[in-house]
Structures are given as structure tokens and as C-alpha cells.
Structure 1
Amino acid sequence: MSFDLQLAGTRVLVTGGTRGVGAAVSALLASLGARVVATARSIPDTAVDGVHYLAVDLATPDGAARAVAEARAHLGGVDALVNVVGGSSAPAGGFAKLDDAEWARALDLNLMAAVRTDRAVLPEMLERGAGVIVHVTSIQHRLPLHDSTIAYAAAKAALSTYSKALSKEVTPQGVRALRVSPGWVETEAATDFLGTIAASAHTDLAGARQQVMDALGGIPLGRPAMPAEVADLIAFLISPRAAAMSGSEVTIDGGTVPTA
């Protein structure tokens, strides 16, 4: 039996779509025949066939509206929105190191970027009575790390709650809203981080990887997830194969979170 995800021709906007999970999502959807627009603060040097890139900063108040307007102009409409953009550049040192500017940066990038993008894309979806929105959150909203990502974890918790509330409003009108909650994903940035740990601890990448897993309390699977694995999950969720799913949060963390 074929398990075609039926995504050919689907018009998808992927935020944060040039690195890590976002890049994997953009490439996979394009390979499945979707028409993809991917946003980032800068256009990558190497493009993926079938992906149209927009240079836009979604952490700014007008960035989301511009991204959706340009995506709509390029695609003729948006059937699915995958909000991947996020991250943290906060300094280490815990709560006392985070001033108002750091908190504002974390909230703008990890919460308000999604809120503003949803706000721009939803009127079209609601008028059509169809659409899918996926918010990429993080297990840190359930398992926060305090040293340098406390603001990030708080913003992702807010994103998760917002996404659930949004699903209750828009699902009866034909728009599905879902959350994907990754644990540690070995992206390019994560690999660079492992290199820094390895150098400072006088170990190799495997040793650094184990240190990170130990800091998380262990990953029963024995390894982090890969971007392509998260992309596979997201592709399923936006497809008609997942038509009965809305409001759900799907965790992909190799068993890191120790509770149900």
C-alpha cells in the first residue's frame, strides 16, 4: 500500500528555513512536490531546488507581515505554515545575567515571530476554511535548563500555550494548529557547540556529545535526533494523512523527558 503524503502542489511557508530543522523541512517538502518559501535573515549561498528564499528578520514587528505578503505573492496563497524560527544567544550565567533586552530578544524570536506570522496568514486560511499551522516548540518548556536558556525556555512555554489556545479557536473553522516539541537535535549549530565543548574539555566529539546528554539527564535512545527525523514528522503532520490531528503536541526527544 502506498503511503503518499499527498503534498504535491501544497503551498508552504517555512520560517527559519535555511539551517537545522528548518532547512531539513524545506528540502523534504520540496522533494515531495510541495511549493516552498523559506525565510531567514539572509539567503543561503547554496539553494535547494524547489525552495524560494526570502531574506527577512522575523524578530522585528513588520518582518512577519512582509514574509507572508511576499510568500503569498510568490505562491498565490499559503496552505501550510511551519514556524521553525527560534533560538537563543543569551549569555551563560543564569537568571542574573539576563536583562530586559535579553528577555525581549528571546520573546520576539521564539514567541512573537510565530504570533505575528500566524496573524498575517490566518485570515486567508480562515476565509478558505482550510490550512495547517505547525509551531516548533521545545522540550525545554517542560524540562528547562537554567544556565543560559531560561528566557528561551519561558518563551517556548508561552508558544506552546498560545498554540493550544489558537487551535481551540481556529480548528472549528477548518484550520489545524499543532506543536512539535524536539529535544536535542544535532544541527550544524549543535555540532559547532560540541566542537567548543570538546576543545575546552580536551575530549572528542563523542565525549562532548555524551556530556551534553548527561546534562539533559540522559537520552534513552542514546543519541540526539537528526534534523531530517524532525522534518519527517512535520511533513506527516501538515499532510492530509494527519487530518484528524489538531491541538496536539508531538514530542520527538528520544525519551529525554522522563514523564508522560
Structure 2
Amino acid sequence: MNTTAIHTGHELADKVALVTGGTKGAGRAIAERLKRAGARVIVTARNPAEENLDGIDFIAADLSKRLGTQKVIDEVNARFGGIDILIDNLGSSETPGGGFAALTDEDWEETIQANLLAAVRLDRGFLPKMLEKKSGVIIHIGSIQAKMPLYESTLPYAAAKAGLVNYSKSLSNEVSPQGVRVLTVSPGFIQTTSATRMVERLAESSGTSFEVALQGLMEALGGIPYGRPAWPEELAEFVGFLVSPRAGYLTGTEYIVDGGTVPTI
């Protein structure tokens, strides 16, 4: 390998990257990190970013719907001729608190569509061109809830993310021999607006304050040995490394980014 070609300044200069859920939180941080590395970056979400995404292309789509994923696949392939990097970052949990009895079929179906099937459909849409080139990177953003489910309010989310981790490993086994790397990054508690809304829902359903609900969530996770949630930029920096040539031998692995939350090895 020619190590002189590996650098961090513009190492993605000839790459096109798509980041789902890329207008806020960790997704936005990842998109901005890839742009700084020189990639042409496209983000997709249901609504535009509240703040300007300077130099980043945006496609409005609801990826929890089959038509939404197909719209993104068709538009990206038509405008950019495919992509080199796919970050399946979309993740959401809008289910109510109250455990299994509070969850309807619709809660389960909507959560699985957004957190598992959206990634499956996008991979299926973009992989053929990657396989033709024998090059590409797909990163699925999972969650430590795949290993540590929180039954009170996010049981469908945890189950969907567990499915995503399993699917990601299987996909890697299939396509890595053909030059496409597939990885999973499973963060713990990230300090985002979505996480704040989840804590607010927990507080409302339990009749407690935000602070009490937050402490309860931290305790349910077993605590965070590092002492705080992750910043979106910390996750983005790791993803930026994984998609770079410096990580060219890495595939088929799940990486836990949780400040030490998961208590097992």
C-alpha cells in the first residue's frame, strides 16, 4: 500500500457521501466532518436544517416510507452517478412510555421501518454501483440499546437496532470480498435535541421533572463511567476515520462508542 496517499486533510476529495438524518445532531456533525475531509456530501431528512448547511446538498424525504427511500436513491443516482460512502444514520424513537402494554402494532411497525428497513432499502439501492467499482463504505449507526434495551419507552427501537447490527454483519460477510466495507457504530447516550425530547417524554409519562427523568435514564443505562454523554462531534470524528483510507482493512465490525456504559466485554 502506498502510505504517502493517506492523509487527513482532503483524503475524501474524490468521494461522494450520503448521510441520512443528516440535518441535525450526530448526522449533521458527521456530514460536516466528511465535508471537511473533502467529500461531496448529500444529506437527507424529512425537513430542511434549521441552520444553513453550507456546501452540503439536501434531499427532503421520509425514509421511513418505501417511496421516500426510492426518491433518494433515484435522485442521488441521477445527479451524482452513485455514492462512495453511505452513512445510515437515521434513527428515531417516538413510542410512548409504559412498557410493552403501551405499544401498538403501529408503534412497532413505524419504528422498525425507520430504524431498520430504511437502511436495508438504501443499501440495496446503492450497493450495485459500489460492487461494480469494487469500492465503497457503508456505516450503519446502531445503538448500545441493541445490547441494553430500555423497556420503559424504547423497546421497539432497541429491537430494531439489534436487527440492524445483525443485518450489518451479514451484509459485510457477503460484500466485503467484493471490495465494499460494511461497519456498525453503536453509540450510547449522545447529547442531541432528540435525546432531550426523549427525556421530556419520559418525564411527562412518569409525572416527574426533566432532571429526575434524565437521572433515571442514566441509571437505566448503568451509568456512564466517563461522566457525561457523548458530543455529536466525537462520534463524527470516529466515523470520519472509519470511512477514510486509514481504516481500509476494517470491515464487519461493530464499534461501541459509549463512554464505558456497556459493562461487559
Partner of 1:213: 218
Distance 1:193 1:104 in 2: 19
Q: 1:79-110 CA distances to partner (integer Å, 9 max, x unpaired)?
A: 01000001110011111111211111111001
**1:243 aligned to 2:248?**
yes
Q: What one-letter code is carried by the residue in structure 2 that aligns with 1:12?
A: A
The alignment status of 1:234 with 2:257, answered yes or no, reads no
Alignment of 1:1-260 (within 5 A): 3-4=7-8, 6-193=11-198, 201=208, 209-260=214-265
1:190 to 1:112, Cα distance in 2 relative to 1, 3 A: same
**Where does the alignment leave 5 or more consecutive residues of structure 2 unmatched?**
none
Q: Is the 8 A contact 1:81 1:133 kept in 2?
A: yes
Letter in 2 for 1:219: I
Q: Give the 3-state SS of the residue equivalent to 1:148 in structure 2.
A: coil
Check whether the contact 1:21–1:230 (CA below 8 A) recurs between aligned residues: yes
State percent identity of aligned pairs.
Answer: 48
| Cα distance change of structure 1 residues 43 and 159 upon mapping to structure 2, 3 Å threshold | same
Q: Distance in 2 between matches of 1:114 and 1:67?
A: 12
Change beyond 3 A, Cα 1:162–1:104: same
Cα 1:129–1:98, aligned 2, differ >3 Å: closer, same or farther? Answer: same
**Does the Cα contact within 8 Å between 1:133 and 1:178 map onto a contact in 2?**
yes
Q: Unaligned 5+ residue runs, structure 1?
A: none
- TM-score of the superposition, structure 1-length normalised? 0.93
Distance 1:219 1:172, change over 3 A: same
TM-score, length-scaled by structure 2: 0.91
For the 8 Å contact 2:222–2:261, the answer to whether it is kept is: yes
Residue 192 of structure 1: CA displacement? 4.5
Kept in 2, the 8 Å contact 1:15–1:22? The answer is yes
